[in-house]
Structure 1
Amino acid sequence: MFHRTFLAAALLALAAAPATAASCGNDAAGFPAWLDAFQGEAVAAGIAPGVAASALGGLSYSKEVIRLDRGQKGTFKVDFATFAAKRVTKGRLVAGKKMLRTHADLLAGIERRYGVQPEVLVAIWGMETDYGAVRGKMPVIRSLATLAYDCRRSDFFRNELLSALTIIQRGDKSPADLVGAWAGEIGQTQFLASNYLKYSVDYDGNGRRDLIRSVPDVLASTANLLKSHGWSAGADYAPGGGNFPVLAAWNKSDNYQRAIALMAGKLLE
């Protein structure tokens, strides 16, 4: 409960001080000054000075992150057949069926606790990172800082950056460990930092919520997110089924939701 209470207080503190918030920018020129100002805001919101300094000190603006952000428009605006053909592939299905067998006991235990069917978790795992093989190679803190400074979605990514600092502060990950996708998604099922805080669980019992290296933590946390948004044990997840709308909590794209359901069903064939 501590981390949720802390995060709520931190976000309220950050939101309560708009007059002191650093201004955004659309090129690298103002980034160092912005970063210094944000570091002070983070400390004022409850991040330990040492954590803020170690995570934010010396960061540089990433032109690559901005290029990728600007280039994503239209990525999901294709027909479902085209979208699914690139994601629900033969190779991914073969590997997914193997994962169902390899982790059968783990997945059964997670289903008992959270009610989410194993094939759904494996479908998400496969679509997001090919079962942990393609997690991204970009420093999460640098990516989030660049996007928090950028004017396009500054408020959203300022909260994500504060969430990532909180993950570090509570001891789940070090700044160097936080390597992921260009927009700051973390781990084998690509959690946003704010979702990492809200829904990650220490399923393997080692005292840390590790969504990068711990398969038990990854799959249980994914199930916890879905359960927390209303997943009903045993209900159908295909379009029209009781659990299908819950997949929107994972990804807002209708194509993506349908692809998860399609892949999950094919994993059982």
Structure 2
Amino acid sequence: MLHCALAAGIGLALSVASANAAVPCGSGSFQAWLDDFKTEAASKGISQATITASLNGVTLDQSVLSRDHSQKVFDQTFEQFSGRMVPPRLARGANMLKRYGSVLSRIEETYGVPGEVLVAIWGLETDYGVNIGKFPTLRSLATLAYDCRRSEMFRGELLDALRIIDRGDLTPAEMRGAWAGEIGQTQFMPSNYMKYAVDFDANGRRDLLRSPPDVLASTANLLASYGWQRGKDWQPGSPNFAVLQQWNKSDVYIRTVAYFATQLTHAP
């Protein structure tokens, strides 16, 4: 009888586990999926206070799904893209090199990445922090995690966004950016924010929204982790160009970064 009771208990536990299995992407209501995700987040060690503050009241964003499902192939040539993007940003980029000269020197000493490369990325990504995006990051990530196109990837990104909040770098309200969940002045996905963001201004927070020293050092840290070679060139065909290609898979975009950085080295 004891063995039968044990078997019955195991059977009951299995049925409960099965009933509590993750709600599949795109099935049922968004709220049911979100409630299930909250349980998973708690099981991964994220505090209940963060889960509540970050996810209560979050709704599906149809505009994010529309953008994700209608992405167009990037079809501009290097000449078209660089001609549109670099000249309007060159003078300000040169000013940023001077303004943050001492910080950039310390960053290059620490990570090996020259200031010209970092300022070029900074300018192309968000106009030096002017256009970081206005989409609520948690809503965007929850929407994309619920959708089945890249559900697992964005589920992981949403967990990392909660971890960023949990460790005190940003509040849920501060977490706004691009429609696909990129955050900060050089547009880090939350997983890269968790791995590579550094507190270079030593104020106790890794703040990629407001602190240029943190933004630039974190970008350098990411490139260094990809294998940036100190003191070497970044032109197409070089090992450092291959590192830049891990930042963005678009050849036209990365050639523009390299061109912009080279233009900055000659800026007055």
> TM over 0.5, yes or no?
yes
1:217-256 matches, cutoff 5 A: 217-256=214-253
Q: Indicate yes or no: 2:199 matched with 1:202.
A: yes
Q: By how many angstroms is 1:47 displaced?
A: 1.0
**Structure 1 residue ranges without an equivalent (≥5):** 1-16
**Structure 2 residue ranges without an equivalent (≥5):** 1-17
Partner of 2:109: 112
The two structures have a TM-score, normalised by structure 2, of 0.89
The one-character-per-residue Cα deviations of 1:179-222 (angstroms, maximum 9, x if unpaired) are: 11111100000000000000000000011100000010000000
Partner of 1:22: 23
What CA distance in whole angstroms lies between the structure 2 residues aligned with 1:242 and 1:235?
8
Partner of 1:10: none
The one-character-per-residue Cα deviations of 1:163-193 (angstroms, maximum 9, x if unpaired) are: 0000011111110110111111000000000
Partner of 1:9: none
Q: By how many angstroms is 1:254 displaced?
A: 1.3
What CA distance in whole angstroms lies between the structure 2 residues aligned with 1:240 and 1:173?
38
Q: Secondary structure at the match of 2:29?
A: helix
RMSD: 1.5
What CA distance in whole angstroms lies between the structure 2 residues aligned with 1:178 and 1:49?
18
Q: Indicate yes or no: 2:55 matched with 1:45.
A: no
Q: Secondary structure at the match of 1:120?
A: helix
Q: Percent identity?
A: 55
Q: Indicate yes or no: 2:143 matched with 1:146.
A: yes
Q: By how many angstroms is 1:249 displaced?
A: 2.0
Partner of 1:80: 78
Partner of 2:63: 64
What CA distance in whole angstroms lies between the structure 2 residues aligned with 1:236 and 1:242?
8
Higher Rg of the two aligned structures: 2
What CA distance in whole angstroms lies between the structure 2 residues aligned with 1:22 and 1:248?
36
Partner of 1:31: 30
Q: Indicate yes or no: 2:164 matched with 1:163.
A: no
Q: Indicate yes or no: 2:99 matched with 1:98.
A: no
The two structures have a TM-score, normalised by structure 1, of 0.89
What CA distance in whole angstroms lies between the structure 2 residues aligned with 1:141 and 1:120?
30
Runs of 4+ residues over 4 Å off in structure 1: none
Q: By how many angstroms is 1:54 displaced?
A: 1.2
